[in-house]
């Protein structure tokens, strides 16, 4: 049984997997890690391995506490990956992107897959049917765009995001919403179509906190999975057990 820890700047996700099946997931503030970690250990005494991915400070403390109970695989550059990483600067590749590509390999082996993660940033990552990771793109996320318009202009308000936006905005608020929401959807549609011209039978995975708001109707299948990143981390852990 595996414990998967994904530590962000403000929140930590912890998940328990058994035979690649997600048994429990918790999202918590970093300050509550010790308390929640203890409760998970008590609830799942069968846990015997763990993996930790962190982009925040305090990683060493979490690793130290976890190592008192289980071996910890830290997601660092030297970790074996279940795909060939052909990124030109692998040391700068985000841990979240690595985990998402690993999940794509596990769930869709032998297929061309484009993973789109709509969060703080919108990331696009492509892995081929030969399990080669080629790279992708990074674009500003939805909330980042709303905040940027407000911050870098004198008179534009901070507008709340909503799932739908009219094409023609009739107020400043609806015009901003139209520009951002429809602009991102057009970006997504155009980017997917561009990848489809280069990769046959492309499977598109759409995940991340804003994936529901930004979902777009396309002929090709799009599978939204909020646990995709955690599944990728678990797969990396399982992959390293067999090496």
Side-chain-side CA neighbours of 204 within 13 Å: the count stands at 23
pLDDT digits (tens, 9 = 90+) for 86-142: 999 999 999 999 999 999 999 999 999 999 998 889 999 999 999 999 999 999 999
- The DSSP annotation for 19-47 comes to TTEEEEEEEEEGGGHHHHHHHHHHH-TT-
- pLDDT tops 80 at residue 218: no
Please indicate if the annotation marks 7 as binding a ligand: yes
**What's the pLDDT at 71?**
93
The answer to whether 233 touches 53, Cβ cutoff 8 Å, is: yes
Catalytic residue, chosen from 60, 96, 125, 200, is: 96
Whether 10 has a binding-site annotation, put simply, is yes
32 is in an annotated binding site: no
146 labeled part of a ligand binding site = no
pLDDT tens, 13-37? 999 999 889 999 999 998 899 999 9
Note the pLDDT tens digit of each residue in 158-185: 998 887 889 999 999 999 999 999 999 9
Rg of the chain over Cα atoms, rounded to whole angstroms, equals 19
Cβ contact 121:89 at 8 Å: no
Specify whether 60 is catalytic: no
- Ordered by where they begin, the domains of the chain are 1-74 (3.30.420.40), 77-243 (3.30.420.40)
CA distances to 21, 52, 88, 222 from 235, in Å: 11, 12, 24, 21
Cα gap 65→119, rounded to integer Å: 29
The verdict on pTM exceeding 0.85 is: yes
Cα angle 34, 36, 40 (rounded to 5 degrees) comes to 115
13 annotated to a ligand binding site: yes
User: Which string of b and e fits 147-168 if b means at least 16 CB within 10 Å?
Assistant: eebeeeeeebeebebeeebeee
């Amino acid at each position: 049984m595996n414990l998967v820890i994904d530590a962000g700047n403000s929140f930590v996700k912890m998940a328990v997997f058994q035979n690649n099946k997600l048994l429990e997931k918790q999202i918590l503030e970093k300050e509550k890690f010790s308390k929640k970690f203890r409760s998970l250990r008590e609830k799942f005494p069968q846990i015997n391995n763990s993996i930790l991915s962190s982009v925040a400070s305090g990683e060493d403390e979490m690793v130290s506490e976890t190592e008192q109970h289980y071996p910890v695989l830290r997601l660092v550059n030297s970790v074996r990956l279940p795909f060939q990483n052909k990124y030109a600067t692998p040391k700068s590749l985000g841990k979240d992107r690595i985990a998402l590509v690993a999940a794509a390999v596990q769930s869709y082996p032998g297929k061309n897959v484009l993973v789109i993660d709509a969060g703080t940033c919108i990331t696009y990552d492509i892995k081929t049917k030969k399990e080669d990771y080629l790279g992708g793109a990074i674009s500003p996320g939805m909330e980042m765009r709303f905040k940027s318009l407000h911050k870098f202009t004198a008179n534009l308000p901070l507008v709340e995001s909503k799932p739908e936006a009219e094409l023609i905005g009739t107020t400043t608020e609806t015009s901003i919403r139209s520009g951002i929401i429809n602009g991102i959807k057009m970006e997504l549609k155009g980017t997917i179509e561009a990848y489809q011209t280069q990769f046959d039978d492309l499977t598109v995975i759409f995940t991340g906190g804003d994936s529901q708001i930004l979902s777009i109707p396309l002929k090709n299948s799009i599978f939204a999975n909020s646990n995709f990143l955690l599944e990728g981390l678990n797969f990396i852990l399982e992959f390293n057990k067999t090496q």
